[in-house]
Amino acid sequence: MNTPAKTYHKLLLRQIKKHFGSLDAIPADVQIFVDAVNEAYHQADADRALLERSLELSSQELTERYKRLQEELVEREQKDQALHLAEEERVRLQEEIIRVQAATLEQLSTPLIPINDNVVVMPLIGTMDSRRTQQVLETLLQGLSDSQANIAILDITGVGVVDTQVAQGLIHAAQAAQLLGAQVMLTGIRPEIAQTLVGLGVDLRTIVTHSTLQNGIAAVMK
């Protein structure tokens, strides 16, 4: 199954191959970087597997608790008050299962991938609404705090629509990262997105931008 990490791994290798002609022609210093990226993507997949396993265990535990609750309901069939309380607990457990699944999916949809000790990349894919934008902000700030990285690359190549809300959310994330002593770079600025941002009057002067993720990574690796 293609994960966000695998998708961007393939994209990065394709861009590097396109630039140098073949993977065999990559200079030694760039090969070191590619090896670091490979390791980062493998670690991202391992983290994803761990999260999925944690979700499976959490769901299994909650399911077992729900089954035990059902058995209690049978035993207390004639006790209306007990039945009512048990039903409330069943609903709470069901909501907890949904909450755990939703939280895990949100984490998987906004991966923060370390490139080296100083640089992390967050590839964004799909639709960005207010909840997703808030998740990006929280994941970014927590990741910067944990890793002590000083550069974060937000790649919006996979974001279908960039409107005022998305742009303002990215600016907010950049400003918050600056308070932690980190710089945010925005990559994946396609021509149509650039025109949209200009038309919306969005001020991106405080954020370094690049048209592709490859250009952004090349800039920070200089």
pLDDT tens-digit readout, 119-140: 999 888 877 878 888 888 888 9
**Tens-place pLDDT, residues 61-86:** 777 877 887 777 777 777 777 667 77
Percent of the chain with pLDDT over 90: 14
Whose CA is closest to 144, among 112, 168, 107?
112
Q: Which CATH code is given to the segment(s) 113-220?
A: 3.30.750.24
pLDDT of 108 > 50? The answer is no
- Name the strands in the sheet holding 183-187, side by side, starting at the edge strand that comes first in the sequence: 113-114, 119-126, 151-159, 183-187, 208-210
CB 203 within 8 A of CB 167: no
**Rounded Cα–Cα distance for residues 27 and 23 (Å):** 9
In terms of pTM, does the model score above 0.85? no
- Where do the structural domains in the chain lie, given as residue ranges? 4-109, 113-220
